Amino acid sequence: FLLPSRVHACPKSTQTVGRKDRNSNIGIKMEYEIRIYNEEKYVEIVTRGVADKDGSLSMAKTIKETMQQHRMTRALIDHHNIESVSGEIMEIYNRPRLFRIMGVVLNIKIAEIIKPDHVKHFRFFETVCINQGIRLSIFLENTPALEWLLK
């Protein structure tokens, strides 16, 4: 089941929204926290747990809603704390189409920071997104990801 989002007061112009997706049979599948940077006009998402289809789609919906609410088009997704990723090739291939069905707009720009172990999975996802008109790039470190996102 989905726990409701929590908004916490943060220093200066940031807000934090937390979310956990749980399955009572296997524990935490995916957990993420969203920070809103009003001055720089982007959202940062820090993830933990296991990245799977359901958790990724739930996170994408929350990101979309948060970005629309704050009129932002840039997202920095930090997957450094993801334990593992799952997804069949066709599932990953169809994910951008599902994003559009959910209402994720094409003018967004997404930088994803990943572990070296997950490059193969995310490189394929990056290629599929680019081929379907979504500006997404993967990085192994925060600084180049943020530089690309903000330019």
Contacts of 43 (CB under 8 A, 6+ apart): 34, 35, 36, 37, 63, 66, 67, 70, 72, 74, 75, 76
Please tell me whether the overall predicted TM-score, pTM, comes out greater than 0.85 for this model. no
Q: How does pLDDT run across 2-27, given as a tens digit for each residue?
A: 333 333 333 334 444 544 444 433 44
Distance CA 95, CA 44 (A): 20
% of the chain exceeding 70 in pLDDT: 75
Q: How does pLDDT run across 89-139, given as a tens digit for each residue?
A: 778 777 777 766 666 666 789 999 999 999 998 999 999 989 888 899 999
